[in-house]
């Protein structure tokens, strides 16, 4: 298959982790005889520095012309905590989502057996947890009108949802539930918010089209508690933009590291894959950020194009790296932790030739990897 992939690595550790995902995709290309081309685009703080805007026009054009987008991370402390900063790197991502119409962000959560003890939550609580969050991504309070009074003492962010915005992401979530354990939980704040009441009304209506799916409704405060107390109770979670942002970070704690979680953002014409973690600026350039979330995002990319065998090859290689403890310090507290690039090399080498992996591991540690 021929695929044109835009790589928007962004800020902080974004470039380091994206490099590894590209390396892994190149291994897939070689092994399975595909033709992938990679095209870099500037976004975020680095784009502000070089072009004066967090989302330059040429990046947007590149994204429109690509089959898929691989995204790293965004955010730079240089632009943070200063209320009067005019342009923020995050605006690049928000504008990208809006312009490409990426209305659904899908964040699967899985607990890896060998890592179960790394989670701060008890093993017996999280064992076999497997749920997926459908977060609405281009509406709600993120995109409502923002106001600040001229005296600087009053601010507001409007939260708006239309039935159309609710329906399109809800349909995706229902379809996913249908192919999984047939349970959908809508998380909202319908006891307080009008927008949440609209979500409930629509989801109740749409549920009639999916009779095999059981639907339940939870207030977000209660859900935040249940995700930690009884995560196995969830199958598909459907929620609005802000709640989805918060709950997915919370849920990542269950897996032991936010550095493991990948996501897909779907629009009618575009599709973007990114780790759920941020730019982790403190660790930038140290070659210790966990690349697995971005590598797993590359697996989601392949799945999107129905390259299931290829995606499975990545997932098995990732599982092997975890099993062999070839992992970065966030999940490997020993002195023998692996660097970001080593994890990427291991995963790539394992895809190319898993039989000789032990021999190859020696080469990797000697810096003689065959495909880098
Ligand atoms: C995420 C991030 C973004 C968001 C930020 C960087 C704007 O936290 O993708 O979850 O809030 O959506
Ligand atoms: Mn977030």
DSSP code for 219 = E
CA 238 to centroid of ligand 2, rounded, Å: 16
Question: How much is the pLDDT for 360?
Answer: 65
- The residue contributing the CA closest to ligand 1 atom 5 is 90
Q: CA-CA distance, 336 to 315, in Å (whole number)?
A: 23
Of all atoms in ligand 1, which is nearest to the CA of residue 274?
A: 9
Question: How much is the pLDDT for 199?
Answer: 98
CA 250 to centroid of ligand 2, rounded, Å: 10
Q: CA-CA distance, 210 to 165, in Å (whole number)?
A: 19
CA 170 to centroid of ligand 1, rounded, Å: 20
Of all atoms in ligand 1, which is nearest to the CA of residue 97?
A: 12
CA 275 to centroid of ligand 2, rounded, Å: 10
Specify whether the CB–CB gap between 220 and 243 falls below 8 A: yes
> In the block, which residue shows the tokens 């609405």?
136
- The residue contributing the CA closest to ligand 1 atom 7 is 90
Question: How much is the pLDDT for 134?
Answer: 98
Picking from 31, 18, 89, 47, the residue whose alpha carbon sits closest to that of residue 311 is 31
- The residue contributing the CA closest to ligand 1 atom 12 is 245
pLDDT in tens, 326-345: 999 999 988 999 999 999 99
Enumerate domains of the chain plus CATH numbers.
1-105+261-372 (3.40.718.10), 120-255 (3.40.718.10)
- What tokens appear for 305 in the block? 């194009």
Q: Which residues are catalytic?
A: 142, 189, 221, 245, 249
Of all atoms in ligand 1, which is nearest to the CA of residue 75?
A: 6
Q: What is the CA radius of gyration of the chain?
A: 21
Question: How much is the pLDDT for 372?
Answer: 41
- What tokens appear for 201 in the block? 């009304």
Question: How much is the pLDDT for 356?
Answer: 83
Which portions of the chain are predicted below pLDDT 50?
370-372
Region at 368 (left for phi over 0; alpha for psi -120 to 50; beta for the rest) = alpha
Question: How much is the pLDDT for 113?
Answer: 87
Question: How much is the pLDDT for 81?
Answer: 61
Ligand 1 binding pocket mutation candidate from 54, 87, 93, 142 (most atoms within 8 A of CB): 93
**222-233 as b/e: b if 16+ CB within 10 A:** ebbeebeeebee
Question: How much is the pLDDT for 362?
Answer: 67
Question: How much is the pLDDT for 370?
Answer: 47
Pocket lining for ligand 1, CB < 6 angstroms:
74-75, 90, 93-94, 245, 276
């Amino acid at each position: 298959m021929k695929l044109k992939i835009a790589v928007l690595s962004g800020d902080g550790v974004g470039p380091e982790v994206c490099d590894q995902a590209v390396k892994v995709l190149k291994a897939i290309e070689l092994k399975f005889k595909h033709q992938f081309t990679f095209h870099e685009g500037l976004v975020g703080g680095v784009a502000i520095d070089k072009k004066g805007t967090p989302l330059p026009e040429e990046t947007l054009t590149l994204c429109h012309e690509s089959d898929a987008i691989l995204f790293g991370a965004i955010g730079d402390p240089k632009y943070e905590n200063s209320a009067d900063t005019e342009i923020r790197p995050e605006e690049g991502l928000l504008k990208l989502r809006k312009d490409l119409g990426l209305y659904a962000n899908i964040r699967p959560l899985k607990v890896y057996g060998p890592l179960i003890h790394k989670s701060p939550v008890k093993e017996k609580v999280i064992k076999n947890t497997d749920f997926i969050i459908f977060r609405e991504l281009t509406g709600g309070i993120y995109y409502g009108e923002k106001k600040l009074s001229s005296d600087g003492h009053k601010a507001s962010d409007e939260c708006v949802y239309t039935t159309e915005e609710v329906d399109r992401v809800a349909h995706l979530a229902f379809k996913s539930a249908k192919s999984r354990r047939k349970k959908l939980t809508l998380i909202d704040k319908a006891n307080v918010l009008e927008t949440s009441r609209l979500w409930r009304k629509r989801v109740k209506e749409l549920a009639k089209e999916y009779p095999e799916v059981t639907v339940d409704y939870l207030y977000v405060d209660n859900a935040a508690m249940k995700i930690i107390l009884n995560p196995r109770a969830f199958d598909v979670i459907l929620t609005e933009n802000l709640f989805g942002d918060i709950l997915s970070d919370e849920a990542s704690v269950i897996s032991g590291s936010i550095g493991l979680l990948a996501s897909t953002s779907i629009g009618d014409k575009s599709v973007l894959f990114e780790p759920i973690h941020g730019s982790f600026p403190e660790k930038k350039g140290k070659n210790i950020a966990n690349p697995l979330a971005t590598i797993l995002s590359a697996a989601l990319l392949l799945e999107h194009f129905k390259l299931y065998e290829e995606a499975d090859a990545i997932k098995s290689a990732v599982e092997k790296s975890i099993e062999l403890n070839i992992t970065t310090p966030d999940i490997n507290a020993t002195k023998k932790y692996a660097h970001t690039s080593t994890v990427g090399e291991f995963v790539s080498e394992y895809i190319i030739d898993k039989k000789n992996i032990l021999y190859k591991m020696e080469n990797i540690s000697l810096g003689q990897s065959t495909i880098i």
